Structure 1
């Protein structure tokens, strides 16, 4: 008996070791950030830009980073300074200095969509602070085609748009953010939920009329970052506005994308819905009497129910009475 126990234990340990060896080693995002010598904000931006690849956690706990991916990044030339430079984000003042222009001109570039913000936050005055990739700003300033914009007068058509209140910073950020989220999944329902997350719920309800499909989309809806704003505060409402499409053409584009994403999602699998309960099967009196009639005579005699009372031979008894008065 003891020999069998040892054998089973050895087999169990061997199976566990093989399973562990076959499963690729991964690290949590926090540990990967430490090993790559990045602050959490820098690490998140590196994920956003695709500098570091992640994989889904098989246990359903978010995303993780393969050990091989960590080693790949650490082996790149100039690590970690080169990586930090790739994910360096700057505000208006530093961005203007990188491009050799005034802060006012830089802001005009951003409002016109010539430079695209990569992230934002709210300062203590609840003002939106947009951040831009330093690497992209340097490339913009080094491009000879942009020289007239950097030193000359802003073209009249662009000035008219600015005077009309054009500000593409929120819209461009939303587009960039959506692209990042879409790259994280290949599931059509999750992709549809990402598009829906940028639309007002009323817009989503107009396109997704089935309540079960809307509920299914909500299961995949990406979690919105609070950006330091407490729930149900003016700051939280401001963040929500930035994350929700407002321009009519942007809304139209997102609605069309959501409709197409739903077509692909439905083709893959329908949204789950409750299984309808089967109605009770009606029982006829004849079907109830049949089992009773088939029971043994002893059971029938013991059963007080009138439906199983033995049939008396009335005609035979009457004939005998008449024969024997």
Structure 2
């Protein structure tokens, strides 16, 4: 017996394809394809059948006829680590790391190695553009400016924060302008306790949760690996959390004004018939029930008084 299986319509299947097939047709690895979507280089559309995103055939055709395909597209999503990035900037790896901690170069991806260390990845194209800009020459050679050196000594490291900014931009693009999805994009960078504080209404909070993006898992829940990833996936600095909290409050207000969150229909009990309130001029007095004849007979007086009453009856 078949269940209620939702399948894409024939029209959707004919005019779009799955991400896996699109990646093959674009000569991209799946990770490269996902990053291209993340950066907005490949447009996707929702599946009419309720599944994941799909890629329009027209979008694949557009990319395939582009100049330098597929090398141009691959170059736009090429990522490098610290060592390769330092080579592109022609600086020592230590200096590259300091630039990343200061936010001069911004990571686009990360992963955790077997030692649970965070490995940041950067767009090679962005690093080449940074190195080619003459205004950045002072950051690539000579001593680090005193102000920046002091910040590094105090432990400044904005790599995770900058990654979250990029992530929020990606999620907002993927929300397709849906107001509650926009709010969910911001909520995904805060922990559930803060979401409950900012959105106390349970129906609105449930609606935000409905649109939360599917989170990437890193190890078993509450494992050391998951705890390391949690510090990257969600805001931790007070000033950053305050910014996202204010952003979420504004997003919920806008969503509420455009499309209020659904609520269960009110349950009404059946209406009772109304009794007449008309009062007659002379209220009727209920008649006393007539006694049974046998009962009357048994209550007749006995003796002389009884005989006299029967005689005059």
Short-chain TM bin: 0.7 to 0.9
Tell me the residue number matched to 1:206: 197
Matches within 5 A, 1:1-325: 25-185=15-175, 186-227=177-218, 229-282=219-272
Partner-residue secondary structure (3-state), 1:57 = coil
| 1:125–1:98 Cα change, 3 Å | same
In the aligned structure 1, how far is the partner of 2:163 from the partner of 2:44? 22
Question: TM (normalized to structure 1)?
Answer: 0.79
Contact 2:26 2:60 survives alignment (8 Å) = yes
Partner-residue secondary structure (3-state), 1:63 = coil
How many residues are aligned here? Answer: 273
| 1:20–1:280 Cα change, 3 Å | closer
Contact 1:191 1:261 survives alignment (8 Å) = yes
In the aligned structure 2, how far is the partner of 1:209 from the partner of 1:231? 26
In the aligned structure 2, how far is the partner of 1:63 from the partner of 1:21? 15
1:282 to partner: Cα distance:
4.1
1:275 to partner: Cα distance:
2.0
In the aligned structure 1, how far is the partner of 2:79 from the partner of 2:216? 18
Partner-residue secondary structure (3-state), 2:43 = coil
* Structure whose alpha-carbon radius of gyration is higher: 2
| 1:183–1:280 Cα change, 3 Å | same
For residues 29-83 of structure 1, give each alpha carbon's deviation from its aligned partner in whole angstroms, at most 9, with x where no partner exists: 0100011010011001111111111111111111111111101111111111111
| 1:34–1:22 Cα change, 3 Å | closer
How big is the alpha-carbon RMSD for the aligned residues of Structure 1 and Structure 2? 2.3
In the aligned structure 2, how far is the partner of 1:97 from the partner of 1:23? 45
Question: Structure 1: which 5+ runs fail to align?
Answer: 1-18, 288-310, 315-324
Contact 2:16 2:55 survives alignment (8 Å) = yes
Question: Structure 2: which 5+ runs fail to align?
Answer: 1-8, 278-286, 291-312
1:281 to partner: Cα distance:
3.5
1:279 to partner: Cα distance:
3.0
